[in-house]
A and B are shown apart, each in its own frame.
Chain A
Amino acid sequence: DVKVTQSSRYLVKRTGEKVFLECVQDMDHENMFWYRQDPGLGLRLIYFSYDVKMKEKGDIPEGYSVSREKKERFSLILESASTNQTSMYLCASSLSYRNEKLFFGSGTQLSVL
Chain B
Amino acid sequence: AQSVAQPEDQVNVAEGNPLTVKCTYSVSGNPYLFWYVQYPNRGLQFLLKYITGDNLVKGSYGFEAEFNKSQTSFHLKKPSALVSDSALYFCAVRAQTGANNLFFGTGTRLTVIP
Q: List residues of A whose CB falls within 8 A of some B CB.
A: 4, 33, 35, 40-45, 48, 56, 58-59, 90, 92, 97-99, 101-107
Q: What separation, in Å, do the CA atoms of A48 and B44 have in the docked complex? A: 17
Cβ-neighbour of B101 out of A40, A58, A103, A107 (below 8 A): A58
A-B contact count (CB 8 A): 57
Q: What separation, in Å, do the CA atoms of A36 and B43 have in the docked complex? A: 12
Q: List residues of B whose CB falls within 8 A of some A CB.
A: 4, 6, 9, 32, 34, 36, 41-46, 49, 51, 90, 92, 94, 96, 100-102, 104-107
Q: What separation, in Å, do the CA atoms of A58 and B102 have in the docked complex? A: 10
- Residues from chain B with Cβ under 8 Å of A35 in the complex: 104
- Residues from chain A with Cβ under 8 Å of B100 in the complex: 48, 56, 97-98
Tell me whether B44 and A98 are in contact (CB under 8 A).
no
- Residues from chain B with Cβ under 8 Å of A92 in the complex: 43-44
Tell me whether B34 and A4 are in contact (CB under 8 A).
no
Q: What separation, in Å, do the CA atoms of A101 and B37 have in the docked complex? A: 13
In the complex, besides A43-B44, A102-B46, A103-B46, 6 extra interface pairs with C-beta distance below 8 angstroms are A58-B101, A90-B44, A92-B44, A98-B100, A99-B32, A107-B43
- Residues from chain A with Cβ under 8 Å of B36 in the complex: 102, 104
- Residues from chain A with Cβ under 8 Å of B4 in the complex: 42
Tell me whether A104 and B43 are in contact (CB under 8 A).
yes
Tell me whether A45 and B102 are in contact (CB under 8 A).
yes
Tell me whether B105 and A99 are in contact (CB under 8 A).
no
Tell me whether A98 and B43 are in contact (CB under 8 A).
no
Tell me whether A98 and B32 are in contact (CB under 8 A).
yes
- Residues from chain B with Cβ under 8 Å of A56 in the complex: 100
Cβ-neighbour of A42 out of B32, B94, B96, B104 (below 8 A): B104
* Residue ID in chain B nearest A35 by CB atoms: B104
Tell me whether B32 and A102 are in contact (CB under 8 A).
no
* Residue ID in chain A nearest B104 by CB atoms: A43
* Residue ID in chain A nearest B100 by CB atoms: A97
- Residues from chain B with Cβ under 8 Å of A44 in the complex: 104
The 4 closest A-B pairs by CB, nearest first: A104-B43, A42-B106, A43-B104, A101-B46
